[in-house]
Structure 1
Amino acid sequence: MKGMLNIKNVESKILDLRGEKIILDSDAAKLYGVETKRINEAVKNNPDKFPTGYIFKLSKNEWGLLKSKFSTSEKGGKVKTPKAFTEKGLYMLATILKSKQATQTTISIIETFAKIRELSRTITDISILKDEKEKNRLMQKSGEIITELFEDDLQRSESETSIEINFAVLKFKHTIKKNKNNN
Structure 2
Amino acid sequence: MAKTNLHSLVAEQKILNRIYVIRNQKIMLDRDLAEMYGVETKRLKEQVKRNGKRFPKDFMFMLTPKEFENLRSQIATSSWGGTRYLPMAFTEQGVAMLSSVLNSDTAIEVNIRIIRVFTHLREYALTHKDILLHLAQLEKEVKGNTRDIENIFTVLKELIEKQSTIGPRNRIGFKQYDSEKI
Give me the TM-score of the superposition, normalised by structure 1: 0.68
Q: Which position in structure 2 is the counterpart of 1:140?
A: none
Q: Structure 1: which 5+ runs fail to align?
A: 131-164, 178-183
The one-character-per-residue Cα deviations of 1:27-54 (angstroms, maximum 9, x if unpaired) are 1101111110111011110011011201
- Tell me the secondary structure at the aligned position of residue 166 of structure 1: helix
Q: Which position in structure 2 is the counterpart of 1:21?
A: 26
Q: Which position in structure 2 is the counterpart of 1:72?
A: 78
Q: CA 1:77 to 1:122, structure 2 compared with 1: closer, same or farther past 3 Å?
A: same
The one-character-per-residue Cα deviations of 1:67-88 (angstroms, maximum 9, x if unpaired) are 2233214x82312111111111
Verify the 8 A CA contact 1:123 1:170 in the aligned structure 2. Answer: no
Q: Which position in structure 2 is the counterpart of 1:113?
A: 118
More divergent stretch after superposition (44-53 vs 64-73): 64-73
Quote the Cα distance in structure 1 between the aligned partners of 2:69 and 2:95.
23
Q: Which position in structure 1 is the counterpart of 2:36?
A: 31
Q: Structure 1 residue 55: deviation in Å?
A: 0.6
More divergent stretch after superposition (84-93 vs 165-174): 165-174
Q: Which position in structure 2 is the counterpart of 1:10?
A: 15
Give me the TM-score of the superposition, normalised by structure 2: 0.69
Q: Which position in structure 2 is the counterpart of 1:82?
A: 87
Q: Does 1:56 align with 2:61?
A: yes
Q: Structure 1 residue 15: deviation in Å?
A: 0.5
Bigger helix share:
2
Which structure has the larger Rg over C-alpha atoms? Answer: 2
Q: CA 1:170 to 1:67, structure 2 compared with 1: closer, same or farther past 3 Å?
A: closer
Quote the Cα distance in structure 1 between the aligned partners of 2:72 and 2:134.
41
Quote the Cα distance in structure 2 between the aligned partners of 1:51 and 1:128.
33
Aligned length: 143
Which amino acid is the alignment partner of residue 55 of structure 1?
Answer: M
Q: Does 1:122 align with 2:127?
A: yes
Quote the Cα distance in structure 2 between the aligned partners of 1:114 and 1:96.
21
Q: Structure 2: which 5+ runs fail to align?
A: 136-151, 171-182
- Report runs of 4+ in structure 1 exceeding 4 Å deviation: 173-177
Q: CA 1:67 to 1:170, structure 2 compared with 1: closer, same or farther past 3 Å?
A: closer
Quote the Cα distance in structure 2 between the aligned partners of 1:128 and 1:54.
30
Which amino acid is the alignment partner of residue 104 of structure 1?
Answer: E
Q: Structure 1 residue 170: deviation in Å?
A: 5.9
Counterpart among 53, 76, 98 of residue 93 in structure 1: 98
Which amino acid is the alignment partner of residue 105 of structure 2?
Answer: K
Q: Structure 1 residue 61: deviation in Å?
A: 1.1
Report the aligned-residue RMSD: 2.8
Quote the Cα distance in structure 2 between the aligned partners of 1:128 and 1:83.
34
Verify the 8 A CA contact 1:127 1:170 in the aligned structure 2. Answer: no
